Structure 1
Amino acid sequence: MGIVAHVDAGKTTLSEALLYRTGARRKLGRVDNGDAFLDPDQLEKKRGITIFSHEAQLKYNDLGITLLDTPGHIDFVAQTEQVLQVLDYAVLVVDATNGLEGTTLTLWRLLDHYHVPTFIFINKTDSVGADPQAVLKNLQKSCSPGCIMFADPLNTDTTEAIASQDDDALTEYLESDQLKPATIQRLIRERKVFPCYAGAALKLTGVDDLLAGLAKWTVPFTPHQEFGARVFKISHDKNDRLTWLRVTGGQLQAKAALVGDEKANQLRDYNGARFTIQQTVLAGDVCAVTGLATTFPGQGLGAEDNLRQAIFQPVLSYAVDPQGNDIHACLTALRQLEDEDPQLAVTWSEHLQEIHVHLMGEVQLEVLQQLLAERFQLQLGFDQGSILYKETITDTVEGVGHFEPLRHYAEVHLRMEPGQPGSGLTFADQCRTDVLSHNWQQQIMTSLGAKEHRGVLIGAPLTDVKITLVGGRGSIVHSVGGDFREATWRAARQGLMELRAQKKCQLLEPWYQFRLIVPQSEVGRAINDIQRMNGSFQLGTDNGVATTITGEAPVASMRDYAQEVRNYTHGQGQLECVVASYQPCHNAEEIINDRQYDPVADLENTPDSVFCAHGAGYPVRWDRLPEMAHFPYMNK
């Protein structure tokens, strides 16, 4: 079970309360005292926030729970997303005074994406201004009408509200005037009902009700017969690299080979910062494994497949200033941190002797600097950061790539069409086997997913495009696997160049979803600022003192606005931003002109092809492919 929440909603406090009430801890730990069981890292104690996910074990009556605490700050949402992939259930903590903040709704979308059954704890009901009923109504409006306040026993109104979330349950209720416990458990598992509880975790009120609800309405994990496991975290403990995983089927034995020749040397069962060594880990359990060097979060082992790319990706790139430190020592340290968080995406330019990292925001940058100082004794600086743009297409095209140096041969035709926003790159195969053999088609499909495809406007990553194999040619005598890889990559670039010539390529930039609270006297200033930043807005609640404004704006325009808000409101204003989506760039022409990217000169991503004549290969420009291709264009 994972506990997730907006920062400062009381997530770690609730975790401590659960540990205390179940007897797992004799003393109630507190974040502000620096003795929280699930914030053992010195950096977490110093900052007073959860930065890394941690594990604890607790037992309530016959219910055994492995509790995974997660970071609350939006800059560390990637770590939270990794944990969600292995949960049976989650508890979403909502602040009764602040209600549904932007991060809360973001977490809700993630829980829905990973189909995690969710309980809700409305916290801080003892605080001034707390309104749990208003929060509940907002949950029902913004998240799901299945957010229902539970009590033991359930009264008639609650049972009726539960039944109304599902046709079969409603039929059962109308016929018998009640619902079987198994029916309610099913509705919770199917994310049609979300049991809500309220209280104050710091004062232990409502915690016993939540525990009783978890014991009554959850069902045990059902494992697969065949061995399987899901990696959700990588960390380092002194000289040991730890692969955190959840066994989903069969069992895991110490010394078992898991990835190639890499063996599970130790199986560690953690409880806070301490661990015991196990010889066997059963399905359903979580452990940390030593001896694995190439694992990564989201990786499937055994019967489990690898998960697709995480939903939340960094939107800012920072250049590293070594500040007199050896650049290669800096790179080694950052590579280890990238091992723990692959989204850092550390890149090294040998030519420029320069390192770049990808980050979500300023808080993550501050924590990265502190980690480098504490773990590696490296004091590093970073530049102001730049926006990570993406590219897409707005029309359909057929791209062709031809690779025919002497004694090699492959031609590939790809249909490229706009995908749904946020869909990334998707691949399909509609080629007949009498055109290309199944083996060649497999080589092409593997090649499509083997690299990060770049756009042709500024060379940014390509996204929201569906690429379909529609045709091509091979040679029984001359074609080898590498030929189809070359032809495939060239086909994708050639298609993009065709669309660029038609002005059908589009530059995308990240946009924030924001929530701005300002004094009434500053509403006009705030609206002018939002319009200046090319954002959109809606005026929200007005309590007579402050006004809430919500909306969207480009990250490039709003990323430094929080400090400006604090200045002109004299510390009374508050800005919360969550990266919501990529949208068409508001100043695309300016960015494209500034980058001066030449797609033809980008030899690692060339759109040109190679043909053969008179016993020698020769290059052919991308725009001559329609007349030179050996296989007919499918759209003609």
Structure 2
Amino acid sequence: MHTLNLGILAHVDAGKTSLTERLLHATHVIDELGSVDDGSTRTDSLDLERLRGITIKAAVASFDVDDITVNLIDTPGHPDFIAEVERALGVLDGAVLVVSAVEGVQAQTRLLMRTLQRLRIPTLIFVNKIDRRGARYESLLRAIGEKLTPAHIAMSATGGLGTQGAVSRPRTGPAFRSELTALLAEHDDALLAAYVDGDADAVPGARLHSELAAQTRRGLVHPVLFGSAITGAGTDALIGAITELLPTAPADADGQVSGTVFKVERGPAGEKTAYVRMFSGTVRVRDTLPFGSGGTTGKVTGISVFEHGAAVPRDAVSAGQIAMLRGLGAIRVGDAIGAPGPARAAGRHFAPPTLETIVVAQQPGDRGALHTALTQLAEQDPLIGLHRDELRQEISVSLYGEVQKEVVQATLADVFGIDVAFRETTTIHVERLVGTGAAAEFLDVDPNPFLATVGLRAEPAPAGSGVEFRLEVELGSMPYAFIKAVEETVRETLRQGLNGWEIPDCVVTLTHSGYAPRQSHAHAVFDKSMSSTAGDFRNLTPLVLMSALRQAGTEVHEPMHDFRLEVPSDVYGAVLPMLTRLRALPRTSSVKGSSYVIEGELPAASVHAVERQLPALTSGEGMLESSFARYRPLQGPPPSRPRSDHDPLDRRKYLLRVVRRTGARDEHR
């Protein structure tokens, strides 16, 4: 058997989960179709998903077609849960992007398609809901060409469009052959020659089909199929396209073990189950596996592999398959199993959350339980960005939007029995270095109370490059554990810059190092007061780094979204002042029929305000699309974020909080 790991992606309400249900029914995995409205679908298993009628967590189902097992991953469509989609993208062999024949290409559709193309994931486009009133064909194909990809071809024609009797049938005939040949000829010289010479009709149909499959698998072209998940129209053609045009997974079962964790669940007793895509090698029950980046290992106590419509217990899982592994207690979403997988399996594909809110337990006695519960949720979704303020006994989380906040609240109540409230949602800013700064503190030189020497230089780095730690001292100048302690503390300290916001991109170089070797009194055991420990370096590093940052200076940046706003032409004059008040920066405006299309940049903090005001201003006819674009310097006084560390900017208070035995050490200096 071959394996194809397939993602189903779409804008919310395009019919993605209904299509998943239809595919499972058509391949005889389920006997009866479930309903999103009734909460009876196979992949929406959470109570919240059934209640709201939306997908919140990625789910895996499988079906067989001939000698291919298709692991179908149903992903959320709502933008608040884009992190679930991000994790799924890294494990896919191919994708089906679902577009509604009525609503057409929407904001999330465009974002998903851009990402699929950037990652070179072979993609089919399925136009759903051809049975709904208002369904379109020609105009929708034009929109796909303009907004998604010009390299597309309609594989289906429709009849009875917009009625319950709508049908989808394969396109054939000279016009279709000519269109297909012209599209494929862009990447095939032999077909180009035949097309130019007027011999396109002489090209065998089998040759065209094989070249279509080859170019689809390379992500060069995107076949478009029409149908209805509700009536089943076009389902067989879609299944045929999935198995014939998309690539199956490479299967090097004897290679080095390599896999990626894209989902983690906890059972009733708190035990973890990791969903893993295997890229190479074979994992067996009782194998001890390395995972993550810290040298952690664990023994596999159970394996289930997706086969024939369900997860079935197996003794082993091999390359290409998706499995549920049990027994790896410390495993987290995003961890690599064995050797790292493809770059896109661990990469960041979408923007980080730009909103933050403080979570407050309604009952003071639930504070400890709340932290435990949120920690478990962060294991399943690392982008929640759990942030604990020990000084104020507050916990904040990072979010994409208000719907996600409501889901977190409901999950805490239903699963953990904790009632919570949220304070006002605020925007997450970042800080960037303005210049270069350096600082150092030396062992046995006042005012340094620690048995350590640390010198650091902080320099700006390009946006998106991350934090890079370099050495300007010899690696053997002191024990590696001390160098590692400095690096880890640097990364931790950079989560709160001079104004309390994270510094995501910079280069920090260790310029000076020194330590007191292990010592002891005569006939006595090791004496911490005479010898350096990793704690000395962890306590000193924040003071040195903050001094370097002060010298370099930082600038607060706010998140900006690209936006596209379409409004009726008669309200254009009323919409512009609203955009100005909300600090939008329109770049272009154009006439589109009876509408105006405005494109530009909008602060992330203003997106929700535009969404709230737009319906009243446009009588419900305005359409806003927005997606994260970049961070830009903030004008005016920079907002600050309350510090949750020991505040190394205030040396006196910091030392009072972290130094416990300075006096004892001074006696031996």
TM range (shorter): 0.7 to 0.9
Whole-angstrom CA distance in 1 between matches of 2:353 and 2:247:
36
The SS at the match of 1:357 is strand
What amino acid is the match of 1:200?
Answer: S
On the 8 A contact 1:427/1:445 being kept in 2, the answer is no
Q: 2:355 aligns with which of 308, 316, 329?
A: 316
Structure of larger gyration radius: 2
Superposed, 1:398-409 pairs within 5 Å as: 399-405=438-444
Task: Verify: 1:499 aligned to 2:542, yes or no.
Answer: no
Distance (whole Å) between structure 1 residues aligned to residue 437 and residue 191 of structure 2: 50
| 2:268 corresponds to 1:238 | yes
2:362 and 2:87 map into 1 onto residues whose CA distance is 33
SS in 2 for 1:508: strand
Deviation at 1:434, TM superposition (A): 10
Q: Secondary structure at the match of 1:40?
A: coil
Within the alignment, does 1:425 sit opposite 2:466 as a pair? yes
Using the alignment, how far apart are the partners of 2:63 and 2:13 within structure 1?
A: 23
Mapping 1:166-185, distance limit 5 Å: 183-185=211-213
Map Cα deviations across residues 130-187 of structure 1 (whole Å, 9 max, x no partner). 4343333343344443233346677232133123046798589889965576654443
- Residues 142/352 of structure 1: CA separation in 2 closer, same or farther (3 Å cut): same
Letter in 2 for 1:227: V
Match of 1:319, as an amino acid? I
- Inter-partner Cα distance in structure 2 for 1:166 and 1:412: 58
Contact 1:150 1:158 survives alignment (8 Å): no
User: Structure 2 length as normaliser, TM-score?
Assistant: 0.78
Bigger mean CA offset, 240-249 vs 152-161: 152-161
Residues 442 and 514, structure 2, Cα contact 8 Å, conserved in 1: no
Query: Aligned partners of 1:441 and 1:157: how far apart in 2?
Result: 65
The equivalent of 1:217 in structure 2 is: 245
Aligned pair partner of 2:282 in 248, 251, 258: 251
CA separation in 2, counterparts of 1:602 and 1:372? Answer: 38
2:585 equivalent to 1:536: yes
Could you tell me which residue of structure 2 aligns to residue 46 of structure 1?
A: 51
Deviations 1:471-529 (A, max 9, x none): 556689799877777787666544432232xxxx3211122334445454433222211
SS at match of 1:559: helix
Write the mapping of 1:70-149 to structure 2, written as runs, cut at 5 A. 70-149=75-154
In the superposition, the TM-score normalised over structure 1's length comes to 0.82
Alignment of 1:368-517 (within 5 A): 368-395=408-435, 397=436, 399-405=438-444, 410=453, 412=455, 414=457, 416-419=459-462, 421=463, 423-427=464-468, 429=470, 443=484, 446-447=487-488, 450-451=491-492, 453-454=494-495, 456-465=497-506, 467=507, 469=509, 472=512, 492-500=545-553, 505-517=554-566
Correspondent of 2:235 among 191, 207, 213: 207
Q: Residues 274-298 of structure 1, C-alpha deviation per residue, up to 9 Å, x if partnerless?
A: 6432222222111222222211111
> 1-side partners of 2:614 and 2:234: how far apart?
37
CA distance in 1, matches of 2:15, 2:628: 23
Quick check: 285-294 or 147-156, which moved more?
A: 147-156
**Structure 2 counterpart of 1:347, from 381, 387, 398:** 387
Q: Residues 238 and 411 from structure 1, CA distance in 2 versus in 1: closer, same or farther, beyond 3 angstroms?
A: closer
1:581 to 627, 630, 645: 630
Distance, in Å, in 1 between the alignment partners of 2:143 and 2:433 is: 38
* Conserved? CA contact 1:123–1:201, under 8 Å: yes
Question: Which residues of 2 match residues 257-336 of structure 1 at below 5 A?
Answer: 257-259=288-290, 260=296, 262-269=298-305, 275-304=311-340, 307-308=346-347, 311-324=350-363, 326-336=366-376
The aligned amino acid for 1:498 is: Q
Contact in 2 for aligned 1:414/1:491 (Cα 8 Å):
no
Aligned-partner Cα distance in 2 for 1:160–1:441 = 63
In structure 2, the CA distance between the partners of 1:143 and 1:429, relative to structure 1 (3 Å rule), is: farther
Query: 1:129–1:417: structure 2 CA closer, same or farther, 3 Å change rule?
Result: same
* Residues 401, 487 of structure 1: 8 Å contact kept: no
RMSD after superposition: 3.9
1:539 Cα offset (Å)? 3.7
CA distance in 1, matches of 2:415, 2:478: 53
Change (3 A) 1:448 1:106: farther
Is the contact between residue 37 and residue 272 of structure 1 (CA under 8 Å) also seen in structure 2?
Answer: no
Distance verdict in 2 for CA 1:316–1:29, change over 3 Å: same
Q: Partners of 2:584 and 2:558 in 1: how far apart? A: 13
Q: Deviations over 1:412-448 (max 9, x none)?
A: 45462340x4x14142758596997996998599548
Change (3 A) 1:555 1:335: same
Following TM superposition, by how much is the alpha carbon of 1:8 offset from its aligned partner in structure 2, in angstroms? 0.9
* Residue matched to 2:526: none
- Post-superposition shift, 1:316? 1.5
> Residue type of the partner of 2:438?
G
Q: 1:593/1:104 Cα in 2 relative to 1: closer, same or farther (>3 Å)?
A: closer
- Give the conservation status (yes or no) of the 8 Å contact 1:2–1:67: yes
Cα distance in 2 between the residues matched to 1:399 and 1:127: 65
Matched letter for residue 162 of structure 1: L
Change (3 A) 1:311 1:570: closer
Q: Does 1:158 align with 2:163?
A: no
> Partners of 1:142 and 1:21 in 2: how far apart?
31
Q: Which amino acid aligns with 2:185?
A: A
Contact 1:24/1:58 (8 A) holds in 2: yes
1:200-244 superposed Cα distances (whole Å, 9 cap, x missing partner): 332222222222112222232113411111100112232232211
Structure 2 unpaired stretches of 5+: 1-5, 157-169, 291-295, 519-531, 656-664
Size of the alignment, in residue pairs? 600
Instruction: Tell me the secondary structure at the aligned position of residue 502 of structure 2.
Output: coil
Give the distance between the partners of 2:28 and 2:571, measured in 1 at CA. Answer: 50
Alignment of 1:188-203 (within 5 A): 188-203=216-231
* Structure 2 equivalent of residue 622 of structure 1: none
The one-character-per-residue Cα deviations of 1:62-119 (angstroms, maximum 9, x if unpaired) are 3320000000000000011011111111111122333332211221233244432222
Distance 2:247 2:119 in 1: 18
Taking the aligned partners of 2:566 and 2:106, their CA distance within structure 1 comes to 12
